[in-house]
């Protein structure tokens, strides 16, 4: 059986490396993607890595992950805050779900502190920078092995 993993990224993450580098660092999303694909391959995951600025496209991809019986790592970015349609789609996923944030959202201003997605996540990683993606893949690997 091939284990499938979707790594989905929300709004403005395509601008990593140039958007507020004092907050998000200088690593680009392309750099993160390459690191993720390398680790996912080593852990024997068939990995899909995508980014969108469109909430409806993100929902379609989450539904695709569900239909593929895939695990999900999601950095919903701006779609984290009050986005019930994204939350409802995440609730479909039967495999482990890791919500990921590059920054520690709990240490930021009030509008960034409360992700609606967290209630549907198996685990949440925030504040580890770009390395959080690799931590999330390792967490998915561990969580997958513990599922019945």
Task: Report the catalytic residues.
Answer: 24, 101
* Contact of 86 with 8, CB cutoff 8 Å: no
Exposed (0-12), middle (13-18) or buried (19+): which is 31, by Cβ within 10 Å? middle
**Is 12 among the annotated ligand-binding positions?**
no
> Backbone phi, then psi, for 48, in 5-degree steps?
-115, 125
- Tell me how far apart the alpha carbons of residues 77 and 71 are, in angstroms, rounded to a whole number: 19
**Is 116 among the annotated ligand-binding positions?**
no
**Is 88 among the annotated ligand-binding positions?**
yes
Strands (DSSP E) along the chain, which ranges? 3-9, 45-51, 71-75, 97-101, 123-126
Q: How many CA atoms lie within 13 A of 90 on its CB side?
A: 29
**Is 7 among the annotated ligand-binding positions?**
no
Annotation: binding site for substrate: 75, 88, 102-103
């Amino acid at each position: 059986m091939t284990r499938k993993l979707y790594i989905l990224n929300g709004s403005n993450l395509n601008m990593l490396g140039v958007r507020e580098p004092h907050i998000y660092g200088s690593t680009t999303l392309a750099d993160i993607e390459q690191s993720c694909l390398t680790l996912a391959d080593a852990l024997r995951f068939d990995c899909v890595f995508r980014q969108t600025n469109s909430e409806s496209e993100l929902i379609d991809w989450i539904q695709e992950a569900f239909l593929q019986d895939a695990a999900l790592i999601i950095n919903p970015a701006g779609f984290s805050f009050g986005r019930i349609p994204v939350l409802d789609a995440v609730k479909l996923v039967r495999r482990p779900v890791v919500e990921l944030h590059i920054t520690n959202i709990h240490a930021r201003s009030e509008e960034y502190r409360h992700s609606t997605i967290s209630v549907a996540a198996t685990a949440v990683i925030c504040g580890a920078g770009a390395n959080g993606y690799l931590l999330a893949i390792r967490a998915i690997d561990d969580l997958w092995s513990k599922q019945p």
